[in-house]
Structure 1
Amino acid sequence: MKVGVDEDRCVAAGQCVAAAAEVFDQRDEDGIVVLLDENPPPGLADDVRNAAAVCPALAIRIEE
């Protein structure tokens, strides 16, 4: 799995961090998503898929 984010689309809702804090964080100054691990381990795959599904801006890309 490879994960990417589109910072320009991000609306700083924080749903990704709630779903997969090991993979996503938010910048302190504006809350925009920060990708911590573009190749998360298989054990986090379901959490990452959930983060992408709940993102209101559809700012998370996943390549399987």
Structure 2
Amino acid sequence: MTDRLLLDKDVDRALERARKELRLTRDGAIRAILRDWLEGHAYLPVRDLDEDSPTKGEA
């Protein structure tokens, strides 16, 4: 059994485009988009990145 989030077709297509552009897996894209939304709506604190922070693989 695979646990896969079922999305409306238009949302799934948009996610696929974003995933390819960001070079992430589907799960990685969902995590990045969800984190961005939660930070943007103040449900999570915004992470501070300084100049020396590693960002490779982060979206």
Normalised to the residue count of structure 2, the TM-score between the two structures is: 0.27
TM-score under structure 1 length normalisation = 0.26
More strand by share: 1
Considering fraction of residues, name the structure with more helix. Answer: 2
Rg larger in structure: 2
